[in-house]
Structure 1
Amino acid sequence: MGYVTSLFARKMVAAAGDAVDGDGLLRSVGLDPQAAWDPRQMIPAAAYYDMLETMATQTDVTDLPVRVGASMRCDDYGALGLAWKAAVDLHGSLSRIARYARLWTSVVRYELRPDPRGLLFVLHRPGERRLGLRLSNETTLAATVSLARQVAPGPVTPLELRLQHPEPRSVAAHAAWFGCPLRFEAGCDALLFSPETMAQPNILGDDGISRYLISHLEAELSQITQDTPLIRQARASIAQSLSEGVPKMADVARSLGLSARSFHRRLSEQGKSFQGLTEETRRDLAEGLLRDDRHSLAEIAFLTGFSEQSSFTRAFKRWLGTTPASYRRDHLRR
């Protein structure tokens, strides 16, 4: 089961105000309406989506994600928000979200993906494209723009907003907030930023503070990313199979003594999908091999399940926003 921070649930209810049964909604996700807000308190993602869908029966929620996203402040995110502000530029801020988002949610992964017009900040949230999930995605992307505008020395306007779901009945609030073309039923949920916007220096960027905050975030991350035995075993099985190509879920399940159905269910209970776990394993394996100069790029491509080095290069740029050669050069220099 995946989890999200309770902060989002409380923000949604507060923004809706008297139009909804706020106390009842918060209790439905296991929160005490009278308790202090604690972003570290997590709630099940499915329960959060249920809550949003219940809100939709009590009031018009079309522009609610934009209003809540616009209300988010860097300080709401604790050390992660400080690290966002202390990054040198917006690219650095977004990279930190991609790296440390698991401190806030176990159901969302972020990716910086090169685009001919700039860089895409892509939100990956697996699951049925239900209303609650769609509203949550819109809120997250609206919040990203809010945080970017708080640290930039000048205006921040994305080149484009992309959302996989159909266009809601009104997009006036979306158009006013994002200030850019809106693409619904797109191939991903993402914001497209220009190179110039990504390179804008943050007004509070500070290398020294950044190093301190990053060490703190890494320590927090290490406490929550200890894989369960099942995940460790599945990763090992996937890694061992990659030199023969990307393995099938049924084959990995069989190697663990499980049926494909049981394996899928147990992964879902831990907020994982087989496709996502395979991608994570390939990415982590590639990073580790690139930090060692004993293997050529062609060998690393083969060992991570790619039939051609060019395919590996494209995937690596999608994962980390840089080429394997540049990644190796930067890390071997340290």
Structure 2
Amino acid sequence: MGYVTSLFARKMVAAVGDVIDGAALLRGAGIDPDGPWDPKAMIPDNTYYDMLERIAAQVDVTDLPVQVGASMRCDEYGALGLAWKAARDLRGSLSRVARYARLWTSVVRYELRPDPRGGLYVVHREGERRLGMRLSNETTLVAAAALARQVSPVPVTPLEVRVAHPAPGSVAAHEDWFGCPVLFGAEEDGILFSAQTLAQPNILGDEGISRYLLSDLESELSQIADEVPLISQTKNAIAQTLNEGAPKMADIARGLGLSARSFHRRLSEHGMSFQTLTEETRRELAEGLLRDERHSLAEVAFLTGFAEQSSFTRAFKRWVGMTPASYRKARRGR
């Protein structure tokens, strides 16, 4: 079971207003409607999705993710929100979320991935693409743009937004908010920012404040990072078996001294899946091998568990946004 901050649930109910019984919805999700808005108070992710689907059964939620995401404020995220503001530039802000998001959710992982046009801020969330999750993903993307605009001295407009589920009945509110193409039905959820936008200094960027905040965040993270050794061990085990093809979860679990069921449960509790770790390991290994000119593209494909180079090329392009050959050429030109 994964968890998300109750802040998101409160924001959703507040945005809908009096047309629903918001207090009853919050109580049904285990949240005291009269209690403090504490971002550290967590609720199960499926409870949150259930709540969103109950709202959708009563009102039109097409534009709800835009309303809620746009209402998010840095200060509502506690120390992490302050660290976002204190980063030197937007790239630094996004990188901090990628590292510390575990403090408010165990079901979403963020990644700032290099792209030929700048950087792709990717939202990874495992599980069934049920309506509640789709609404949550859209809200997360809108919120990222909202927070970026709050710290930048100039307007922030992404190059494009990618959403990995079909479009709702209307996308006008989404496109108006982002000010760029919003591509539904994409392979992943993410926002593409230009290199210039990522390098734009933040209004309140301060190295001294950042050091103080990051120290606190590292301390908080260490208290919940008890599964980091397992994640690291899993990725190492996957990397060692990739030249024999795609690894099987049961085999990796056995090698770590766990049953497949226990292994799956421990990964799920921390918002991870075996498939996600396998993809991450393959991508990281491929990038490292491609930086070494001694390996041919065919060898890199074999060493990362692909039977055919064409399959490797398609997967790598999905991960990084360019072919292995283009990636190697771009690295050579640096």
TM-score bracket for this pair, using the shorter chain length: 0.7 to 0.9
- Change in 2 beyond 3 A, CA 1:187/1:282: closer
Give SS of 1:124's match: strand
Asked if structure 1 preserves the Cα contact closer than 8 Å seen for 2:72 and 2:143, the reply is yes
Q: Deviations over 1:278-305 (max 9, x none)?
A: 4566789999x9xxxxxx8979x99xx6
- State the partner residue of 2:54: 54
- State the partner residue of 2:304: 306
In 1: Cα distance, 2:229 partner to 2:118 partner: 40
Asked if structure 1 preserves the Cα contact closer than 8 Å seen for 2:148 and 2:156, the reply is yes
Letter in 2 for 1:192: L
In 1: Cα distance, 2:10 partner to 2:231 partner: 32
- Change in 2 beyond 3 A, CA 1:154/1:229: closer
Give SS of 2:196's match: helix
- State the partner residue of 1:124: 124
Give SS of 1:37's match: coil
In 1: Cα distance, 2:212 partner to 2:294 partner: 37
Percent of aligned pairs sharing the same letter: 69
Instruction: Choose 213-222 or 271-280, whichever is displaced more.
Output: 271-280
- State the partner residue of 2:195: 195
Q: Deviations over 1:172-231 (max 9, x none)?
A: 211211111111101111111111111111011111111111111111111111118876
- Change in 2 beyond 3 A, CA 1:89/1:277: same
Asked if structure 1 preserves the Cα contact closer than 8 Å seen for 2:119 and 2:195, the reply is yes
In 2: Cα distance, 1:8 partner to 1:183 partner: 24
- State the partner residue of 1:3: 3
Letter in 1 for 2:139: T
- Change in 2 beyond 3 A, CA 1:258/1:88: closer
Letter in 1 for 2:194: S
- State the partner residue of 2:213: 213
Q: Deviations over 1:149-185 (max 9, x none)?
A: 1110110011111101111111221121111111110
Letter in 1 for 2:173: A
| Structure 1 residue 246, shift from structure 2 partner | 5.1
- Change in 2 beyond 3 A, CA 1:297/1:23: farther
In 2: Cα distance, 1:213 partner to 1:297 partner: 40
For structure 2, the residue ranges without an aligned partner over 5 or more in a row are: 307-311, 321-326, 329-334
In 2: Cα distance, 1:270 partner to 1:197 partner: 32
Aligned pair 1:114/2:114, yes or no?
A: yes
Letter in 2 for 1:83: A
Letter in 1 for 2:63: D
In 2: Cα distance, 1:213 partner to 1:175 partner: 34
- State the partner residue of 2:85: 85
- State the partner residue of 2:24: 24
Letter in 2 for 1:139: T
- Change in 2 beyond 3 A, CA 1:285/1:185: closer
In 2: Cα distance, 1:134 partner to 1:118 partner: 26
In 1: Cα distance, 2:305 partner to 2:164 partner: 30
For structure 1, the residue ranges without an aligned partner over 5 or more in a row are: 290-295, 325-334
- State the partner residue of 1:14: 14
Give SS of 1:58's match: coil
In 1: Cα distance, 2:206 partner to 2:233 partner: 40
Letter in 1 for 2:189: D
Letter in 1 for 2:183: R
**Any residues of structure 2 matched to 1:137-286 within 5 Å, and which?**
137-227=137-227, 234=234, 237-238=237-238, 241=241, 247-256=247-256, 260=260, 263-265=263-265, 267-279=267-279
In 2: Cα distance, 1:195 partner to 1:238 partner: 33
In 2: Cα distance, 1:35 partner to 1:79 partner: 20
TM-score, normalised to structure 2, is: 0.81
In 2: Cα distance, 1:85 partner to 1:237 partner: 38
- Change in 2 beyond 3 A, CA 1:27/1:228: farther
- RMSD after superposition: 3.4
| Structure 1 residue 19, shift from structure 2 partner | 1.5
In 2: Cα distance, 1:92 partner to 1:53 partner: 35
Asked if structure 1 preserves the Cα contact closer than 8 Å seen for 2:243 and 2:305, the reply is no
In 2: Cα distance, 1:136 partner to 1:162 partner: 14
Q: Deviations over 1:228-286 (max 9, x none)?
A: 88767645644654576653213113335666466445543443210223456678999
